[in-house]
């Protein structure tokens, strides 16, 4: 049994569960190392079992650690090993992952089991990054920064957003893979926080927002920078400085014990003073790890509190419709009494 599974077992006792069914593949990877596309885990107070199908019979011999592994039919839910659930009365399920169809299949086979829809317990465990996990996130971030610096020399009038996005993804593939579809948004497209790179050609005076992240050995990084092609107009300059100030004010208060919503509020207040708060419509940041978006959430309505071991982004943005936008995103690691910024690319306004 490994440490992660043991920690989950301790949670089961606190949650008054006899067992917990893990159906999220990312959670399964975190608990036992399996990286395939079909798996399920049953963790009881004393045992841990992993299930997959024939296609992964060989892979699991080297990959799966800390629990027993069994090969079932491809539809793991229809061929659920009912005998493994003997003595399990209260079974927790991941309510944010288990589909209704699969739930129905389980319920038909397990008439005596009481299913308890649970919050994502493993996702909560995943918040606290180990030194090894942190190293992988830093490695992914360094790769992201290398690719970003390489790309700067390609930013010229006439180049399309798509050209730049393809080049970024190509370079990521050398060391890992893109952690999410890269965002390259220029001019008025930069007013859309999640714009998709298209055929728009860069022009002088454009702001260009790059949101990019690489994944190495499962772990993601996430960074955003907005640069300018030629001199920006005075309004966009003011926007840039205001976003940067908002980010700095949020970064200054980040430490364990601080409610996540207060960090969001620090950035929002700063933009309010600059008269730009109405253009900041998304949350300030999110956890990063095996998923690009994980816990905790740095948002207005968050009920979470920052803890040491968290890796979170801080990414205020201001989006002026039909004109452009600026977002600046860094990733930080929560130390025992503050935070360590994992992003080393300069945030000084860059005019190319
Ligand atoms: Zn991002
Ligand atoms: Zn982000």
The pLDDT score that the predictor gives to residue 1 is: 65
Is there a shared CATH topology between the 3-126 domain and the 131-341 domain? no
CA of 344 to the centre of ligand 1 (A): 15
Q: How far is the CA of 22 from the centre of ligand 2 (A)?
A: 26
Q: pLDDT confidence of 87, banded at 50, 70, 90?
A: confident
The ligand minimizing its distance to the Cα of 224 is 1
pLDDT value of residue 175: 85
Q: Which ligand has the shortest distance to the CA of 210? A: 1
Average pLDDT over residues 71-91: 91
Distance between Cα 96 and ligand 2 center (Å): 21
Q: Give the number of the ligand closest to the Cα of residue 313.
A: 2
- What is the tens place of the pLDDT at every residue in 280-291? 999 999 999 999
The CA 160 to ligand 1 mean position distance, Å, reads 20
pLDDT of residue 86: 84
Give mean pLDDT, residues 269-273.
Answer: 98
Tens-digit pLDDT profile for residues 67-80: 999 999 999 999 88
The DSSP secondary structure of 51-93, one letter per residue, reads EEEGGGTTHHHHH--SSEEEEE-SSTTTT--GGGGTT--EEEE
Residue ranges per structural domain of the chain: 3-126, 131-341
Maximum separation of any 2 CA atoms in the chain, in Å: 70
Task: Give the pLDDT score at 158.
Answer: 97
Which stretches of 54-189 are assigned E, i.e. beta strand? 68-72, 90-94, 114-118, 177-178, 183-186
User: Mean pLDDT over residues 247-274, rounded?
Assistant: 98
CATH T-level assignment (fold) for domain 131-341: Creatine Amidinohydrolase (3.90.230)
Q: What is the mean pLDDT of residues 263-284?
A: 97
Distance 219 CA to ligand 1 centre (A): 14
Q: Which residues are CB-contacts of 314 (< 8 A; sequence separation ≥ 6)?
A: 247, 250, 251, 254, 263, 267, 284, 285, 298, 329, 330, 332
Half-sphere exposure of 46 (CA within 13 A, CB side): 5
* Ligand located closest to 293 CA: 2
**Ligand 1 centroid from CA 180, angstroms:** 9
H or E segment to which residue 227 belongs: strand 223-228
Is residue 326 classed as helix, strand or coil in its secondary structure? strand
Query: CATH fold of 3-126, please?
Result: Creatine Amidinohydrolase; Chain A, domain 1 (3.40.350)
Burial of 275 (0-12, 13-18, 19+ CB in 10 A): exposed
| C-alpha span between 60 and 53 (Å, rounded) | 10
Angle between helices 3-14 and 25-32 (to 10 degrees): 120
For helices 131-152 and 161-175, what crossing angle results, to 10°? 140
User: Which distant-in-sequence residues (6+ apart) come within 8 Å of 267 by Cβ?
Assistant: 246, 247, 249, 250, 280, 284, 314, 316
pLDDT tens column, 210-245 = 999 999 999 999 999 999 999 999 999 999 999 999
**Band of pLDDT at residue 66, cut at 50, 70 and 90:** very high
Give the residues across from 326 on adjacent strands: 318
Q: What is the mean pLDDT of the chain?
A: 96
Please name which ligand lies nearest the alpha carbon of 284: 2
List, for residues 112-163, the tens digit of each pLDDT value: 899 999 999 999 999 999 999 999 999 999 999 999 999 999 999 999 999 9
**pLDDT band at residue 343, thresholds of 50, 70 and 90?**
very high
Closest by CA position to 40, among listed 83, 7, 73: 73
pLDDT above 90 (res 262) = yes
pLDDT at 28: 98
Find the 222 Cα to ligand 1 centroid distance in Å: 5
CA of 208 to the centre of ligand 1 (A): 14
Q: Which residue is listed with tokens 């007013």?
A: 191
């Amino acid at each position: 049994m490994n440490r992660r599974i043991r920690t989950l077992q301790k949670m089961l006792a606190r949650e008054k569960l006899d067992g917990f069914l893990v159906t999220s593949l990312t959670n399964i990877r975190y608990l036992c190392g399996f990286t395939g596309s079909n798996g399920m885990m049953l963790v009881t107070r004393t045992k841990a079992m992993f299930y997959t199908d024939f296609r992964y019979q060989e892979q699991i011999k080297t990959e799966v650690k800390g629990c027993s592994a069994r090969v079932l039919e491809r539809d793991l839910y229809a061929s659920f090993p009912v005998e493994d659930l003997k003595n399990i009365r209260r079974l927790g399920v991941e309510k944010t992952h288990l589909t209704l169809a699969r739930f129905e299949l389980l319920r038909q086979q397990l008439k005596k089991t009481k299913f308890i829809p649970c919050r994502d317990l493993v996702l909560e465990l995943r918040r606290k990054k180990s030194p090894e996990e942190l190293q992988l996130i830093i490695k992914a971030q360094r790769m992201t920064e290398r690719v970003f610096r390489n790309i700067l020399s390609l930013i010229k009038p006439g180049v399309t957003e798509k050209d730049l996005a393809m080049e970024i993804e190509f370079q990521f593939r050398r060391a890992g893979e893109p952690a999410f579809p890269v965002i390259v948004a220029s001019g008025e497209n930069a007013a859309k926080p999640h714009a998709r790179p298209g055929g728009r050609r860069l022009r002088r005076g454009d702001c260009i927002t790059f949101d990019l992240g690489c994944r190495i050995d499962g772990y993601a990084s996430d960074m955003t920078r907005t640069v300018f092609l030629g001199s920006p107009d005075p309004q966009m300059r003011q926007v840039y400085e205001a976003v940067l100030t908002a980010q700095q004010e949020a970064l200054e208060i980040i430490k364990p014990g601080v409610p996540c919503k207060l960090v969001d509020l620090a950035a929002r207040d700063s933009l309010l003073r600059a008269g730009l708060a109405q253009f900041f419509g998304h949350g300030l940041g999110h956890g990063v790890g095996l998923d690009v978006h994980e816990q905790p959430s740095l948002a207005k309505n968050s009920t979470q509190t920052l803890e040491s071991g968290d890796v979170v982004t801080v990414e205020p943005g201001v989006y002026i419709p039909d004109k452009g936008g600026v977002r600046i995103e860094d990733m930080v690691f929560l130390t025992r009494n503050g935070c360590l910024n994992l992003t080393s690319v300069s945030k000084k306004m860059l005019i190319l």
